Amino acid sequence: MDLNGNTVLITGGGSGIGRAIAEDLHARGNKVIIAGRRQHVLRSVVDANPGMDWIELDLSDPLSIADACTVVKLRHPTLNVIINNAGMMAHDDSGQCLDFQVMLQQVETNFLGPVQLTSALIGHLRDQPRATIVYCTSTLALAPLPFAAIYSATKAALHSYVQSQRAMLRQTNVTVREVAPNLVATALQGAPDPRAMPVDAFVERVIEALGAEVEYVTVEDPATSLITWLSPRIPRLHLVGDGDWRSIHGAVPAR
């Protein structure tokens, strides 16, 4: 995608990876709209970045998604990029009875919500001269983390959906990209992890890869790269990386 001149909707743009992508694209001259549930968080990002817009969105609520899509199209008719970044992770133990509400919230937020949002806007995107849909999955889509079984499964489902949608849109003006973070220093995991890659370093590589039209963008250490490469053949492998973000090899083209 072009890295400037777009109108970009970023879900989860109030914090972490989403905020860093939003601020980078804003600084490059794109019109950026951030979305999420916490109004005060969104407002403070917009206050720090004059010209940005925000919209309330709860991906676990189909009515909220429908409303947000209507408002965004009315307010920003040139919308041509959607970055499905928002997500939530809960630890679980699939060797025990799982909490249905926690399960449902992850399936809705990480899978059904982004699919519904994109589906509601796909007609609009196809009417634009050029459009891009970005989905934020995870390296856990390819090799699950056993103590985040539902989270890993939602990301695997989204990874699968991305490939189908990309195939269906191949001959159109809409390109479909996937960003698969490994371990990035955000609030997602709860406690800070010293092995995590700094958000700004991760987002710098992601933006570079999106500008270079890379379909599957990941930034990993060599150990996790090998496992990611092997995982379609050995799908049950657990990710074990040394977490040294300085050894990253950057964006990996789609296989």
Ligand X SMILES: NC(=O)c1ccc[n+]([C@@H]2O[C@H](COP(=O)([O-])OP(=O)(O)OC[C@H]3O[C@@H](n4cnc5c(N)ncnc54)[C@H](OP(=O)(O)O)[C@@H]3O)[C@@H](O)[C@H]2O)c1
Binding site for ligand X (CB under 6 A): 11-12, 14-18, 36-38, 41, 57-60, 85-89, 109, 136, 138, 181, 183-184, 186-188
Angle in degrees, 0-180, between the axes of helices 39-48 and 16-27, rounded to the nearest 10: 30
The side-by-side arrangement of strands in the sheet containing 131-136 is 53-56, 31-36, 7-11, 81-84, 131-136, 174-180, 216-218
| Euclidean distance between CA atoms 1 and 210, whole angstroms | 6
Residue placing its CB nearer to ligand X in the complex, 16 or 76: 16
Nearest to 34 by CA among 59, 14, 62, 20: 14
Say which DSSP state 5 is in: S
Q: How far is the CB of 161 from ligand X (least distance, A)?
A: 14
Instruction: Answer yes or no: 135 catalytic.
Output: no
| Euclidean distance between CA atoms 13 and 160, whole angstroms | 24
- Residue in 135, 151, 161, 216 annotated catalytic: 151
Residue placing its CB nearer to ligand X in the complex, 102 or 128: 102
Residue placing its CB nearer to ligand X in the complex, 128 or 189: 189
Q: How far is the CB of 37 from ligand X (least distance, A)?
A: 3
Nearest to 203 by CA among 185, 224, 227, 221: 185
Q: Which residues are catalytic?
A: 151
